[in-house]
Amino acid sequence: MRAERTAATFAYYLTSSSLWMAGMSLYGFLFTWLLVGILERPADEAGTARFIAELPPLALLLLGGVLGDRMNARRYLVVMHLAMALPPAIVATIYATDNLSYWWVVLFGVSTASIQALSDPARQSTLSRVTPLDIQRSVTLMTIVTTGVGMSGFYLGGHLESLGLTTVLSIQAGLFLVGAFAVRGLPELPIATTARPSLLTGLQATWKATLARNLIGLNFLSSLFNAGAYVIAVPYIAKQVYAGDAAFLATLMIVFTLGSVGSNIILFFFMPLRRPGRLFLVMQITRIAILGLLLTTPRLWLFHVLMFCWGLNMGITTTMVRTTVQELATPEFRSQILSVLLLSFMVSSPVSSYLLGQLINAFTPMSALYPGIGVSVLIFLLGVFRSGLWQHESRTDG
């Protein structure tokens, strides 16, 4: 609906999404540090915890896509914001009564990831309905703003010891609650079609969108051992290889995220890109070099530089995937197609967390970087010769 695509509407959307991202960034930090830094669990148990926490939401993600295509997006997102404030509030209470345990942390992860799974397809598909820009610039601008604000979550995590866990969890709950008020600033967003698409028809639509389907498959491979290595390996590299504390890990996450945001700022000025698929594939080659240098256990200053470069790389590849799939998705099935894309991220996370956690436990934290090198080579070859991605031209060009 073109009438909804105004600067003011887009600003409300960016505000709600940024507050959501800040809360989720803080969750990502807290979930890891509760296991590694506070409960001091070994890598295999931390990997298993993430595997358990993120497995149930996989079933909910496709349901989130169906609900996103069948419900008023504004009302639905308000409910999701209110629901997301509950898990940190509960954990804060548990910790304050000195009852925090391994399984409470797992439950924290399950509940947070489940609500995220139900919410994300609707949130991301709403972007196409409220933005006054082309889809490439819209996704990139949203990434820049939300990720930039999201770094405040890492900042808060870095001050965990001075602020206290209960205070930090309370702030996290507050971020989601304030975000609900921003969502209420959006206009009513009824379903895009009078039909009520089912899960089956949504999956069929995704399969028929050949290029989107192939790109989602490549993204799954990328997330499996590249994004997975960042999530599960970096905390142990920080703690065991570089003898870092919570502040050091938070700094690494900020440096990585600055790279991700920086890449999107650069991309914004060159968009719309005519051949986004080629950029995605070339980035696989540069990632091989970055991971290879990290394996040398470089000095601290170079380690930070490489983390920044890794963030640049992942920022570009993630944005290229999201912009291309969102552009290719038809309006009536947009939430469901995007839910399949998000599923490719979410399936990879518990699997890679478990596998890489076992690998780290058997060898060293650095060993978790090796699979990402081989997978990057495979993605490049499949992408160039089999996917159609190298030949793809964006219809937002010009």
Query: 325-365: per-residue pLDDT in tens?
Result: 878 777 667 777 777 777 777 777 667 777 877 888 788 88
* Mean pLDDT for all residues in the chain: 82
Spatial distance between the Cα atoms of 169 and 29, rounded to a whole number of angstroms? 11
Kindly tell me the burial class for residue 250, based on how many C-beta atoms sit within 10 Å of its own C-beta (0-12, 13-18, 19 or more): buried
Residue whose token pair is 């969108």: 209
Is the omega angle on the peptide bond into residue 88 within 30 degrees of 0, that is, cis? no
DSSP per-residue string spanning 18-66:
HHHHHHHHHHHHHHHHIIIIIS---HHHHHHHHHHHHSHHHHHHHHHHH
List the domain boundaries for the chain: 2-385
CB burial of residue 189 (10 Å; 0-12, 13-18, 19+): buried
The answer to whether the beta carbons of residues 124 and 326 sit under 8 Å apart is yes
Helix (H) or strand (E) holding 258: helix 246-270
In degrees and rounded to multiples of 5, residue 131 shows phi and psi of: -85, 140
| Residue the block writes with tokens 């993204």 | 219
pLDDT of residue 97: 87
Length of the chain: 398
Burial 71-99 (b: 16+ CB within 10 A, else e): bebbebbbebbebbbebbbbbbebbeeee
- Cα 390 to Cα 352: distance, rounded to the nearest angstrom: 27
Instruction: Give the CB-side neighbour count of residue 282, counting CA atoms within 13 A.
Output: 8
- Closest by CA to 301, choosing from 263, 255, 262, 247, is 255
The residues near 62 (Cβ < 8 Å, ≥ 6 apart) are 199, 202, 203, 336, 339, 340, 343
Q: What is the pLDDT of residue 286?
A: 92
Q: What is the pLDDT of residue 175?
A: 92
CATH number of 2-385: 1.20.1250.20, 3.40.50.1370, 1.10.10.60, 3.60.21.10? 1.20.1250.20
pTM for the structure as a whole: 0.69
The encoded tokens of residue 187 equal 């206009």
Is residue 328 a contact partner of residue 212, using CB atoms and an 8 Å limit? yes
- At 42 the pLDDT is 79
Q: Can you list the residues of the chain whose pLDDT is less than 50?
A: 1-3, 397-398
What lies within 8 Å, CB to CB, of 119 at 6+ separation is: 20, 64, 77, 80, 84
pLDDT for 5 equals 67
Terminal Cα distance for the chain, rounded: 22
77-to-65, 72, 123, 282 alpha-carbon distances in Å: 13, 9, 7, 36
Burial class (CB in 10 A: 0-12, 13-18, 19+), 385: exposed
- From residue 172, give the alpha-carbon distance in Å to each of 25, 90, 106, 324: 10, 12, 17, 32
- Report in angstroms the alpha-carbon separations of 94 from 52, 107, 112, 165, 217: 20, 12, 16, 11, 40
Tokens of 165: 């866990």
